[in-house]
Amino acid sequence: MNPYIKRVLSETENRNVSQPLFLQAVNEVLDCLDPIIEETPDIEVCSILERIIEPERQVMFRICWTDDAGKIHVNRGYRIGFNSTLGPYKGGLRFHPSVNLDVVKFLAFEQIFKNSLTGLPIGGGKGGANFDPKGKSDAEIMRFCQAFMIELHHFLGEDKDVPAGDIGVGPREIGYLFGQYKRLTKRFESGVFTGKNANLGGSLARIEATGFGTVYFANAMLATEDQSLEGKTAVVSGSGNVAIYCAKKLTELGAKVVAMSDSDGAIHDPFGIDLEVVRSLKEIDRARISEYEKHVTGSKFYPDENVWQFKCDLAFPCATQNELDKKDVKTLIGNGCVAIVEGANMPTTPSAIELIQSKELFFAPGKAANAGGVAVSALEMQQNASLQKWSFSDVDQKLQKIMTSIHDDCQHYSQKYKRPKDYVFGANVAGFLRVAEAVHAYGVI
Ligand code: NDP
Ligand code: 2IT
């Protein structure tokens, strides 16, 4: 490893001792940069790596809210503006009990390169709270969102920091957050949030964008070896926003999705998952995936199991970080799986990625494959800024173009540096170069 990268990594480890996820994300990016640092000495001379690895700002705050029984709760909120080189901070908010500074920081760091890959003018940020939305009433969710926004609104702005959804945050929560922002600022600043419902100025196809985009990326990747999705069997982990629309597009393009999951376990349906049942359970009833078994004969629920045990050609981790480990990859390979495509952020552990790459399976890293969500968020910002409303098919076509272009950029750099089929390398180099060149162009700021 290049001595400059080694030094920066070691400084980063010393400065972020209790942040293993952040260090995992940094390691993956820096591990790809050897040839770039060697051919561009200015990166070291101008301390570009050090400047990209340190967040521009990190905010932590207390959130007090009252439940339906009148009990007062205290949660912790976060927003990291990691890098605004390419545009306003852009990235989702996650509400989940596991949220801490490490989680938000790794997500914000990943977001810098993902957003760069889209080619659109958006910087990298992320936020959230250790709030658990499960089992909460609609009124409790609303009061929590309003309390969260009392502090966060100071830091937002359509040209400053633009949140969206992530785990536990969808259009309902964005509506409450945006409503409170509007009330506190006395302004209708629609571009300050993306992922809004269409009646609040949201873009059509934003709900579908991440999952659809992941499948468009998979399609482009398989096409490089004259393969397609048609007739393939797939498993998709999770059953939230990304998982549902990933499974929907897979089905539309001729693949059969036989398993999905949530944190309680996995469902297997050998005839192909009925997505209307999943959507109704998850989007309307906010129920558990175990209920699927009651609605579809021939399906079976496996408590506390994941989806990787089921025979498939394609695997789409679409739930959460580090959900797919080396043992799972061995099972997938043993069952004949040919491609792993990340809909979630950093769902595959480093040792699992190493094994995948040693076996020459297709592997699409999340920062490239799941960039369709944030890309359509940027299209939502464009529509809001120009007071326009584009049709579903306009947005979907733009999304397809963006995903193909991200795929081609990854492929370009992996071929240029003689790392064929290495999409991790291609994505990190392509994402990094655009940010690094812009950091350099600003001078020292
Ligand atoms: P949702 O909240 O809609 O769904 C999350 C799904 O993952 C649920 O099925 C949930 O199960 C499961 N899950 C979450 N955490 C865990 C956990 N710790 N263990 C097991 N299962 C878990 O979130 P999204 O679909 O929006 O996000 C999924 C992934 O995609 C995340 O990694 C997110 O960062 C990433 N992503 C999201 C984008 C977006 O536009 N929404 C864009 C790009 C990436 P349960 O209900 O049981 O918790
Ligand atoms: O991880 C992600 O890219 C997201 N959660 C979406 C971010 C966004 O701003 O749309």
92 close to ligand 2 (CB < 6 Angstrom): yes
Q: Can you give the pTM of this predicted structure?
A: 0.98
| Ligand having the closest approach to the CA of 88 | 2
pLDDT tens digits for range 144-187: 999 999 999 999 999 999 999 999 999 999 999 999 999 999 99
pLDDT tens digits for range 53-98: 999 999 999 999 999 999 999 999 999 999 999 999 999 999 999 9
- pLDDT band at 260; cut points 50, 70, 90: very high
Those residues with Cβ within 8 angstroms of residue 190's Cβ, 6 or more apart along the chain or in another chain:
158, 196, 200, 201, 384
Q: Is the pLDDT of residue 341 over 90?
A: yes
| Ligand having the closest approach to the CA of 239 | 1
Report how far residue 294's alpha carbon sits from residue 278's, in angstroms, rounded to the nearest whole number: 12
CATH class of 55-189: alpha beta
Q: What is the mean pLDDT of residues 110-131?
A: 98
Q: What is the mean pLDDT of residues 11-23?
A: 97
Give the number of other CB atoms < 10 A from CB of residue 249.
Answer: 19
Question: Taking all residues of the chain, what is their mean pLDDT, rounded to a whole number?
Answer: 98
Q: What is the mean pLDDT of residues 325-353?
A: 98
90 close to ligand 2 (CB < 6 Angstrom): yes
Q: Which residues form the pocket of ligand 1, taking CB atoms under 6 Å from any ligand atom?
A: 92, 96, 98, 165-168, 210, 238-243, 262-264, 318-320, 343-345, 370, 373
Q: What is the mean pLDDT of residues 129-150?
A: 98
pLDDT of residue 211: 98
Q: What is the mean pLDDT of residues 242-251?
A: 98
Q: What is the mean pLDDT of residues 9-25?
A: 97
**Is residue 95 exposed (0-12), middle (13-18) or buried (19+ Cβ within 10 Å)?**
buried
* Percent of residues, the chain, with pLDDT higher than 70: 100
Q: What is the mean pLDDT of residues 237-259?
A: 98
Angle at 111 between CA 200 and CA 129, to 5 degrees: 65
Q: Answer for the pair 432, 29: CB distance below 8 angstroms, yes or no.
A: yes
CATH number given to 208-364? 3.40.50.720
Report, in this order, helix, strand and coil percent for the chain, each rounded to 5.
50, 15, 35
Report how far residue 238's alpha carbon sits from residue 168's, in angstroms, rounded to the nearest whole number: 12
pLDDT of residue 275: 97
Q: Give 387 Cα–ligand 2 centroid separation in angstroms.
A: 22
Report how far residue 265's alpha carbon sits from residue 242's, in angstroms, rounded to the nearest whole number: 17
pLDDT of residue 91: 98
Q: Give 111 Cα–ligand 2 centroid separation in angstroms.
A: 8
- Which residues are catalytically annotated? 126
Helix, strand or coil, per DSSP, at residue 124: strand
* Percent of residues, the chain, with pLDDT higher than 90: 99
Report how far residue 375's alpha carbon sits from residue 212's, in angstroms, rounded to the nearest whole number: 12
Number of H helices and E strands in the chain, helices first, is 18, 12
CATH topology agreement for domains 55-189 and 208-364: yes
Q: Is the pLDDT of residue 11 over 90?
A: yes
Give domain limits for the chain: 1-54+428-445, 55-189, 208-364
Q: What is the mean pLDDT of residues 19-40?
A: 98
- pLDDT band at 360; cut points 50, 70, 90: confident
Q: Give 210 Cα–ligand 2 centroid separation in angstroms.
A: 8
